[in-house]
Amino acid sequence: MNQSSTKSADLRKQPDHLTPAQPTAECRLRNDRQSYFAITRALVKAQFFLADSVLSQRLWQEVADRDMEVGRILNLLYGSCFQDDEDEMTALDDAFLALRMS
C-alpha cells in the first residue's frame, strides 16, 4: 500500500461529521449569569448614575428581546447596592434561583 492509499483508508475510518462539544450545565449557568450581571450593571449605570431614560428603555428592550427574566434582573438591581461585587451578586442570584426552584 502506498502512502496516499493509507491516508485515504485513514480518512474513511473517521466519522463523516464532527460533533461540537456540548457545554456543561455549569458552563451554561455561568454564561447565563454573566449575561444577567452585565445587563444589570448597564441598567444601574443608565438608570441611577446617568439618569438616561432613553438608554434605560433600550436596555429594557434588550431584556425583552433576549427573553430574559425580569424578576431576576429586578432582584439583582434592587437587592444590592454593590453590583460591582461579583461575590455579592452571585449570592443574591443563587438565593433568587433557589426560591424559583422550590
Q: Where are the domains of the chain?
A: 27-101
Indicate if the alpha-carbon torsion angle 40, 45, 48, 54 is positive or negative: negative
Quick one: pLDDT at residue 26?
A: 72
Do the beta carbons of residue 59 and residue 43 sit within 8 Å? Answer: yes
Summary count for the chain: helices (H), strands (E)? 5, 0
Single pTM value for the model: 0.71
Mapping DSSP onto H, E and C, the string for 65-87 reads HCCCCHHHHHHHHHCCCCCCCHH
**Residue % of the chain over a pLDDT of 90:** 64
The dihedral through the CA atoms of 5, 6, 11, 15 has a sign that is: positive
What whole-number distance in Å separates Cα of residue 99 and Cα of residue 24?
A: 23
pLDDT, tens only, 5-38 = 555 455 455 444 444 555 677 777 778 999 999 9
